[in-house]
Amino acid sequence: MRRAVGIFALLLIVAAGPAKAQSIAESIRLFATNESLTANGYSSTVVTAEVRDRSGSPIADGTEVRFATTLGTLDTQLATTRSGRARVTFTSAAVPGQAVITATSGHAVRELTIPLLTPGEQPPEAHVRVITVSGRYVAYSSDYRTMMADGDAVIKLGSIQITAGSAQIDLDRTTVRASGDDANAVVTISSGAVTFRGARLWYDWMRRTGAVRLLDNQPPPEAPSTEANTQRPPSPVMGFSGPPFAPSPGVDTTLLPFEFQNLEDTQYWVVCRWAAIFPGQRIHFRSAEILPQGQPLLRLPYHSLSLNPGLDDQYLGIGSMGLTLDIPYYMSLTDRSATSIRLGMNQPEGSFGAIRGGLGLDLRHQLFVGDRGEETIDVSRFTSKDWGLWWRHSRQWSDTTNTNAFVDFVDHRDLFANGSLDWQGRSYGGYLNFSANLPKGFGASYFTDLTLQTHPQPLAHTPLTYSFVSGTFWAAGKAALHEVRQTVQARLALPALSLTKKTTFNASFGAGQVLTGINRGPLADATLSLSHRFSPHMFASANYSFLDRPDLTSGFSRQRIGGMFGLYGARTSFAATISRTLDGRSMVLSGDYSYNITSKLRANVRMTSFRYSSFTFSDLELALAYPIGAREVILYWSKTRHRLQLELGGFSF
């Protein structure tokens, strides 16, 4: 910690002053309304590129931003900014995969990956969204990413409750270890009406399996009265699964690590009375005390610690643009909400990008609806003349219905809104997407897209399935062409076909007619995808897509091939994507290589290349990163900037 403070002080001394503003784009923040889509050929999401110049100010209106995707389709490949933002609509492909969307403008480039899921598949996520921990002594080891609780420990993982004398929650291994103490030798784990008791407990909340080491002369575990669980297990260790909890003889209990991990050499502790863990995201603490090197440093009534460097968190940094701040004061933190006032100055946009100039205060309130969704409302720069407001909504109402929405009132001048409703019935599913753009001085535009599709049915005795699709599109407003477009389509699909144990093939075909609207006529599409997993840590995929519809202009590419390769090891990772049109000159290529030189020092090489009919762009970034606190010091060189830069990615506590 002292070394980190010393490095930070040195950077403060040698830091250069802020640079003058330029009109060329230096950073892009790329995000989508929906983090994932169903691979059905019609689900869509609005992708937004927020573009800023070197000073961190929004880029001038009318700046061109080019978009490309490796899978699926975009309604346009070239969009212009309004209030610093350019928007396109991305529509999923009809085969599962990873769609990598790239945006480029000026010196800036950014990628966004949107998973395309098999119909009916839920987005990958932890079974437990929130874990609460309480006890007479609760502490978090930042070095080992492990929470411990001693004395009357109570741990809640969704519908699961664990009581014990002592417990450890290992966030990297997604496991809980618990044991009794002298006063209370019994550990319990409960869900609903089922309770298991023992001397020690081990539970994995991702795999939903666990085991209890039974007490001497312990009666049978409390579980529903069935022949399987009313008899005493022959082993002193009983495996179980769930919830719903039930004894599971298939769980291998011979090598389970019941013993606690030794945390004595921890260099950074956070001690508190109560904590709420959001796995992979953040930890909320009440009555927190920060102890670097075991020495008291700071006491806070509320404290939030990020578990992901990409998430917003309190930090103090220094870089080529001067001092940066993003420090929240939390007025309330619970397992369901967070309210904060955030002090920001020269806040960075992206990992190596530019920063937003000036000092401002934001008021932010977040609601966490268990494992079903999240609501965030933010009043940005509320003390300034250019204050703004945004609201983000994501909610899984049931297993078959979910909604997403985003409303952005930029500088309380320009209003943008979009949202979607996705539901599945017994015989068909539906998707409703809407958006409204009301930029001041440009005229309003409104769009609605409703799609209904029957569930795929087997075609005779073949592996093919068929379905029917109906689409209704409506556009209105001064800045839009008024149109009501109706389409009908029939689809054939070949679900994942295993060619070998490691190779799968997918295909989808569609044909139909545009019945009403400005451009009428036939439409057709096809997508072929081949993927192969060489090992658990190395895979590759290739795809071909064809799209033809009446509204496509002569300059729009109808055929495209793409590919992706990934290799992930203990010290090395490499990922590359390529997309090229067959009836044009457009091509997008990107690659990222990372190597852990030591346990602390990381080297990174990133290459991007774009080629369009009237535009080319390429860049190469070399970086060295070293962790300080919860962030990184990054020394990097970029070919387009022709200079070395030093960034302290953040000093957090």
Total domains present in the chain: 2
Task: In whole angstroms, give the CA distance from residue 571 to residue 573.
Answer: 7
Classified as helix, coil or strand, 506 is strand
Confidence of residue 147 (pLDDT cuts 50, 70, 90): very high
Q: Does any domain span residue 305?
A: no
Q: Are 103 and 177 in a shared domain?
A: no
Q: Are 197 and 106 in a shared domain?
A: no
The predicted structure's pLDDT at residue 132: 95
- Least confident segment among 94-98, 125-129, 298-302, 593-597: 125-129
Q: Which of 25-34, 157-166, 207-216, 597-606 has the highest mean pLDDT?
A: 157-166
Q: Does any domain span residue 300?
A: no
Neighbours of 583 (CB within 10 A): 11
Last residue of a domain, one of 220, 253, 275: 275
Q: Are 208 and 97 in a shared domain?
A: no
The DSSP element (H or E) to which 237 belongs, if any, is: strand 237-241
567 close to 591: Cβ distance less than 8 angstroms: no
For residue 384, give Cα distances in angstroms to 377, 379, 380: 18, 11, 9
Q: Are 92 and 158 in a shared domain?
A: no
Mean pLDDT, the chain, rounded, equals 79
Q: Does any domain span residue 389?
A: yes
- Identity of the amino acid at 185: A
Q: Helices (DSSP H) in 231-360: which residue ranges?
A: none
What is the strand order of the sheet 64-69 is part of?
Answer: 37-38, 108-117, 97-105, 64-69, 78-80
Task: In whole angstroms, give the CA distance from residue 359 to residue 56.
Answer: 12
Phi first, then psi: give them for residue 6, nearest 5 degrees: -65, -45
Q: Does any domain span residue 475?
A: yes
Q: Does any domain span residue 291?
A: no
Q: Are 35 and 157 in a shared domain?
A: no
Q: Are 145 and 115 in a shared domain?
A: no
Percent over 90 (pLDDT), the chain: 21
Return the exposure string of 166-203: e unless at least 16 CB atoms fall within 10 Å of the residue's CB, then b: bbbbbbeebbbbbbbeeeeeebbbbbeebebbbbbbbb
The predicted structure's pLDDT at residue 86: 83
Q: Are 347 and 494 in a shared domain?
A: yes
Q: Encode pLDDT of 75-111 as tens digits.
A: 777 787 866 778 888 888 888 888 888 888 877 778 8
Q: Does any domain span residue 561?
A: yes
The predicted structure's pLDDT at residue 515: 97
Q: Are 321 and 372 in a shared domain?
A: yes
**CATH code: domain of residue 247:** 2.60.450
Neighbours of 486 (CB within 10 A): 15
The predicted structure's pLDDT at residue 445: 93
Q: Are 7 and 153 in a shared domain?
A: no
Q: Are 512 and 464 in a shared domain?
A: yes
Percent over 70 (pLDDT), the chain: 80
HEC-encoded secondary structure of 173-197: CCEEEEECCCCCCCEEEEECCEEEE
The DSSP element (H or E) to which 407 belongs, if any, is: strand 401-410
**Which residues have a Cβ under 8 Å from the Cβ of 214 and sit 6 or more positions away?**
198, 199, 233, 236, 237, 238
Classified as helix, coil or strand, 280 is coil
Q: Which residue has the tokens 């109560």?
A: 274
Q: Is the pLDDT of residue 20 over 60?
A: no
Residue 652 tokens read as: 């957090």
Q: Classify burial at 296, counting beta carbons within 10 Å of its beta carbon; exposed 0-12, middle 13-18, buried 19 or more.
A: exposed
In 3D space, the residue among 202, 205, 199, 195 whose CA is nearest the CA of residue 157 turns out to be: 205
Domain range for 485 is: 2-123+314-648
Last residue of a domain, one of 250, 275, 300: 275
Query: Can you say how many angstroms the Cα of residue 396 is from the centroid of all Cα atoms in its chain?
Result: 16
- Least confident segment among 196-205, 552-561, 603-612, 636-645: 636-645
Q: Are 582 and 449 in a shared domain?
A: yes
Q: Does any domain span residue 289?
A: no
Q: Classify burial at 281, counting beta carbons within 10 Å of its beta carbon; exposed 0-12, middle 13-18, buried 19 or more.
A: middle
For the residues 541-560, what does the mean pLDDT come to?
83
Q: Is the pLDDT of residue 381 over 50?
A: yes
Task: In whole angstroms, give the CA distance from residue 321 to residue 52.
Answer: 14
Neighbours of 601 (CB within 10 A): 12
The predicted structure's pLDDT at residue 6: 38
Task: In whole angstroms, give the CA distance from residue 503 to residue 532.
Answer: 4
Task: In whole angstroms, give the CA distance from residue 522 to residue 620.
Answer: 43
The predicted structure's pLDDT at residue 324: 65
Last residue of a domain, one of 247, 275, 303: 275
Q: Encode pLDDT of 274-332 as tens digits.
A: 999 988 778 999 999 998 888 888 898 998 887 765 444 555 655 555 666 777 888 98
Q: Does any domain span residue 293?
A: no
Q: Are 318 and 230 in a shared domain?
A: no
Confidence of residue 644 (pLDDT cuts 50, 70, 90): low
